[in-house]
Amino acid sequence: MVVLSELCEGSSSSSSTQAHRYDVFLSFRGVDTRHSFTNHLYNALMHANITTFLDDEEIETGEDLKPELEYAIKASRASVIVLSKNYATSTWCLDELVLILEQHMKSNHIIIPIFYHVEPTSVRKQQSSFGDAMAKHRQKMEAETNSNKRNQWSQKIELWNKALREVADLKGKDANSRQEVELIDEIVKDIYRRLCVSSRFPLPQLIGMENSIKLVTSWLKDATSHTTDILTILGMGGIGKTSLAKYVYVLHSHEFDNSSFIADVNRRCDTKYNGTIDVQKQLYNDISKPSSVQVHDVSIYTSMIENALARKKVFLVLDDIGSINHLDALLGSKGFHPGSKILITTKDAWLTQSSLPFKTNIKPNYAEHKLSGLSTIEARKLLCFHAFMCNNPKAGYEEVSEKLVKYCGGHPMALKVLGRSLHNRDVTYWEGYIDTLKKENNSPINNVLRMSFDSLSSENDKDLFKHISCFFVGMDRNDTVTILEACDIETKTGITNLIDKCLLSIGWYNEMTMHQLVQEMGRFVVREESLNRPWERSRLWGHESFRVLKQEKSTKNVLGLTLDMKILENKKIRGSLELKTDALTIHSDFISDSRN
């Protein structure tokens, strides 16, 4: 096992860890394609939520590249170069090309050349229009009487020649014999895939985790003979493991043949019927061509995944692993293609430390990185970001801010929830909030999350939160809305309010997601209704649902309950449950009150 801090010692941070302002920089010759192909491509990229820089001014020859164009190239993750007939006539275009190729070498800046009615050979060998353009540049150089300027011209022409040869050798798109609409669609899909661009995949806002980002990025980019294949990010719930993994994944997944981010593995595998197979299916479809064969056996899917992992260089993120069985089902034991990277997040340090190094058939290099709480300075910054929308406390809030920072103990989720709950509140409210926190007897983190629940202004929002935390985490948002609206729970504004309070979020696949600590807090609120008499609570889930119904206790207070449907395979149990649920309507594995 390798400790990540040792692995990364002395390594330089990559510029790709910095946030980029643009996804794509468009390099083109305005007079050729501004009002045709380039304009259509730009509109298609923007429509696909791919942030694209397009220079709105006509490019003139004989001038140095504008500083704003230099900045835009360096602030972009990719460049699309439209190599048209007159591209090389522009010194700005040629300077852009040189800088783009430099970025490609420095930071894996993606380049997609478009050979727009020109041949790659003409670009490489500077023939036809490219030869004519370069000849004119040389004529200007020879006509220059100032020796310094002539030397500058000579150096630039040498760089331009080299850049044209290099870009012609890159894999590009040929527009000579294709429909432009088809070509543009292909380009957009290619960029969308390689950059993982989606409105559902926003780059997480991380404060105080710069060192962790550098460490994980260094591991990810380590391509030496001592490369580490598996990295485990360890830490308690809410400490930032998933956010860190998602941040790195969004920035670097395009650098691999295929990639997959499997979120919330523990809950999805263990609390849902056929959950493991569903997770395996997502993973397999992400890293290989989707199979038309219906698979209903975990071991068969494991074998299929093993074969796919052996064929391609992949980047996998397995989020919240809770059992060695999850690793066996998702990774198998045959090993990985050279250069593949597996990033695991878990709250259980023993699981990966004791199991992964001894999966002898895989024999991966293994490292771990443990996340702890934020420092006082970082914690204050995170709290202030959410409470004041700046990095430091407002005047008069210094003392109460320090009290809250100390109370949260550097826990990012607690700081975020507290900051959101106290946003735009006066100092007196902050003081009262702190006094209330100190009077609670439960865990500090649960108290922080509970305060956010208590701050909900309407009973509808509180009921909605309890319903979701007890029954709907992991379910599709649209299905959840349909069920709850039928039960007279207002969801349109309610869900938005919960999201604003950091009590709920919508996952990448439109599923209802909730931090584990938040969900546990919501369920604790329900348990408090009757600690020792679960049948008197408003909601039941898990084994308590079955136990209450089996004991034939009165369920007049129950608004909803969930059951593991596999329990109902026992006919004797089924009869008992049906006897006691005559007042309830069953919706799949959700049971809601129909007495109204």
Catalytic residues: 96
Backbone φ, ψ for residue 258 (5° rounding): -145, 160
**Contact present, 154 and 141 (Cβ < 8 Å):** yes
End-to-end Cα distance, the chain: 60
Neighbour-count burial of 216, counting CB atoms closer than 10 A to its CB (0-12 exposed, 13-18 middle, 19+ buried): buried
User: Would you state the structure tokens that stand for residue 562, as one six-digit string?
Assistant: 């969930």
Helix (H, G, I), strand (E, B) or coil at 397: coil
CB atoms within 10 A of CB 68: 11
Beta bridge partners of 82: 114
Q: What is the C-alpha to C-alpha distance for residues 394 and 392, in angstroms, rounded to an integer? A: 7
Helix (H, G, I), strand (E, B) or coil at 233: strand
**Contact present, 401 and 380 (Cβ < 8 Å):** yes
Strands 512-513 and 505-506, by their bridges, are: antiparallel
User: Would you state the structure tokens that stand for residue 197, as one six-digit string?
Assistant: 């661009």
The H or E element containing residue 234 is strand 230-234
Q: What is the C-alpha to C-alpha distance for residues 57 and 34, in angstroms, rounded to an integer? A: 10
Place of tokens 């020792």: 532
Q: What is the C-alpha to C-alpha distance for residues 359 and 546, in angstroms, rounded to an integer? A: 38
User: Would you state the structure tokens that stand for residue 576, as one six-digit string?
Assistant: 């008992």
Q: What is the C-alpha to C-alpha distance for residues 494 and 464, in angstroms, rounded to an integer? A: 7
Q: What is the C-alpha to C-alpha distance for residues 474 and 273, in angstroms, rounded to an integer? A: 12
**In 257-377, at which residue ranges do the beta strands (DSSP E only) sit?**
258-262, 314-318, 341-346, 366-370
Q: What is the C-alpha to C-alpha distance for residues 357 and 351, in angstroms, rounded to an integer? A: 10
Q: What is the C-alpha to C-alpha distance for residues 254 and 249, in angstroms, rounded to an integer? A: 9
Neighbour-count burial of 181, counting CB atoms closer than 10 A to its CB (0-12 exposed, 13-18 middle, 19+ buried): exposed
Contacts of residue 393, Cβ cutoff 8 Å, sequence gap at least 6: 380, 384, 401
| Crossing angle between the packed helical segments 376-388 and 398-408, to the nearest 10 degrees | 120
Q: What is the C-alpha to C-alpha distance for residues 224 and 502, in angstroms, rounded to an integer? A: 41
Radius of gyration for the alpha carbons in the chain, expressed in angstroms and rounded? 29
149 Cα distance to chain centroid = 49
Q: Closest Cα partner for 198 from 127, 120, 131, 253?
A: 253
519 Cα distance to chain centroid = 21
Helix (H, G, I), strand (E, B) or coil at 76: strand
